[in-house]
Amino acid sequence: MRLFQKHFCAIAISLWAASPGNAQLLVEPTLHIKAEAGSGRVALTLDACGGRTDTRILSALVENKIPATIFVTGIWLKHNAAAVEIMRAHPELFELENHGGRHVPAVDTPQRIYGIRSAGSPEAVLAEVESGAAALAVTGEPAPKWFRGATAEYSPSAIAMIRKLGFKIAGFSINGDGGSLLGAKETARRIAAAKDGDVIIAHINQPTHAAGEGVVQGLLALKAKGLTFVRLDDADGIGDEGTTD
């Protein structure tokens, strides 16, 4: 009986901790780059959350000399050495930044975001950010200056912590591929609609999804319109929610 009570109590506590009433209000910060005279500049950011590499996108970037900021996790780095080698062979195109060690959302209370369990505590947020940076350091890349958490949603207290670690937080202004779940046509339409100062987010880790084809089409359309692409390190990023200032 005592064992049952103990067990029941543990369930009750875990239910309480996961209840929406206890969930922190999360923010999804935006990011723009400073507008410049001319035909316009956009920043392309691509997340490599886990899984493999979409070589349709990687090849198109290299062939068309389109610079991009790639947010990589420790998990992705471990299984995509060939892609990392290609990126490192083109330092003029690719800037690698921190997408966390294990791809857990930078939210310091226990809750689920799009079905993914959050880091859940300040210590776990810290570990996610620091292990992501450590995994990048092993590749020989310059130390990351930008962080983007899994799901791109944050608790305000996590934002403050990450800023204290010295990282800027990369929001976005155009959700290009809807988490890589959109069709090719809609993805291409969204990306091709980018204007001067926009920061696009899409994914480079889902080679089997139709969205990847749309990413390439959208980028080529932007290039044809005369827009130029910059990496986050080459532009003045202006984010809200205290993510860059």
Contact residues: Zn ion, CB under 5 A? 47, 49, 150
Q: What's the closest the beta carbon of residue 126 comes to Zn ion, in angstroms?
A: 19
Complex with Zn ion: residue 47 or 97, whichever CB lies closer: 47
Q: What's the closest the beta carbon of residue 18 comes to Zn ion, in angstroms?
A: 22
User: Whose CB is nearest to Zn ion?
Assistant: 49
Q: Copy the structure tokens of residue 28.
A: 């999804």
- End-to-end Cα spacing for the chain: 56
Complex with Zn ion: residue 49 or 84, whichever CB lies closer: 49
Q: What's the closest the beta carbon of residue 49 comes to Zn ion, in angstroms?
A: 3
For helices 55-63 and 81-88, angle between their N-to-C axes, nearest 10 degrees: 10
Q: What's the closest the beta carbon of residue 151 comes to Zn ion, in angstroms?
A: 7
Complex with Zn ion: residue 47 or 153, whichever CB lies closer: 47
Write the DSSP string, 168-200.
EE---SEESSTTTTS-HHHHHHHHHT--TT-EE
- Collect all residues with Cβ–Cβ distance below 8 Å to 104 and sequence separation of at least 6: 116, 117, 118, 119, 124, 128, 150
Complex with Zn ion: residue 47 or 95, whichever CB lies closer: 47
Q: Cα–Cα distance between 140 and 117 in angstroms, integer?
A: 30
Complex with Zn ion: residue 227 or 243, whichever CB lies closer: 243
Q: Cα–Cα distance between 40 and 197 in angstroms, integer?
A: 7
Complex with Zn ion: residue 128 or 227, whichever CB lies closer: 128
Q: What's the closest the beta carbon of residue 34 comes to Zn ion, in angstroms?
A: 26
Q: What's the closest the beta carbon of residue 148 comes to Zn ion, in angstroms?
A: 7
